Amino acid sequence: MQQAAVQQAALQQAAAQQAALAQAQAASIPAGSGNVIFVGDSRTGQMANAVGGTAAWPGTAFVACFGGGVDWLSTAQAKKDVDQYVTPGSVIILNYGVNDLSRHNDYITTINRYAQDWISKGATVYFASVGPVGENEYGKRNWAVEYFNNQLNNRLDARIGRLNLYVFLTGSGYTTQADGLHYDGATYAAMFRFLMQSIGRI
């Protein structure tokens, strides 16, 4: 009986030491040095296709919900889809909003909540502003995109980095597809390059 108690104590001590070692290793990983995780809607999905996806960019994940908005992003499944890639040192770039520009308050609540969890796991989190639109039949206008971006830029947690994709695309030029919402391949490639350069990956 006494021997069993000693063995149990030894096992507990070993487990505690292993946990402490894992925590120390995680803390020693430089912020932003791990995999890159792009999280967004169909623009993110089409960007992935334009640059060859994970096959062309190992260590990069693209978590995209085509047609998705904050109703999807705020679900447990959406969080789980991202969480499977998150490790200490991960860089998470969120680029949501074009499908439901009026829902900025909901995005702020959701992104702040998620970021708190991801940062606690050793990840670095960025919000990439929603890119501009062209002429479209969906009633989406760039003044609304700018308002959405300003709301998130001003009200997201200060620990969340900002990547001004909107200013980059309006400054460098962009071409939309016929729907006025999605971009052509060259624009997606430029968008990807800008985001990766902004986090020091290329």
Q: How far apart are CA 172 and CA 100, in angstroms?
A: 25
- Where does the pLDDT of residue 22 fall: very low under 50, low under 70, confident under 90, or very high at 90 and above? very low
Share of the chain above pLDDT 90, in %: 83
In the prediction, which pLDDT does 32 show? 60
Please give the model's pTM, rounded to 2 decimal places: 0.85
Let me know: does 31 contact 54? Beta carbons within 8 Å.
no
**Quick one: average pLDDT of 63-86?**
97
Reported as a pLDDT band with limits 50, 70 and 90, residue 158 is very high
Q: What are phi and psi of 63, to 5 degrees?
A: -110, 100
Q: Of 131, 126, 100, 103, which is closest to residue 114 (Cα–Cα)?
A: 126
State which amino acid sits at residue 155: R
pLDDT of residue 3: 56
Tens digits of per-residue pLDDT, 46-68? 999 999 999 999 999 999 999 99
CB 132 within 8 A of CB 142: yes
Residue 133 confidence class, pLDDT cut points 50, 70, 90: very high
**Confidence (pLDDT) at 34:** 78
Residue 150 has pLDDT above 70, yes or no: yes
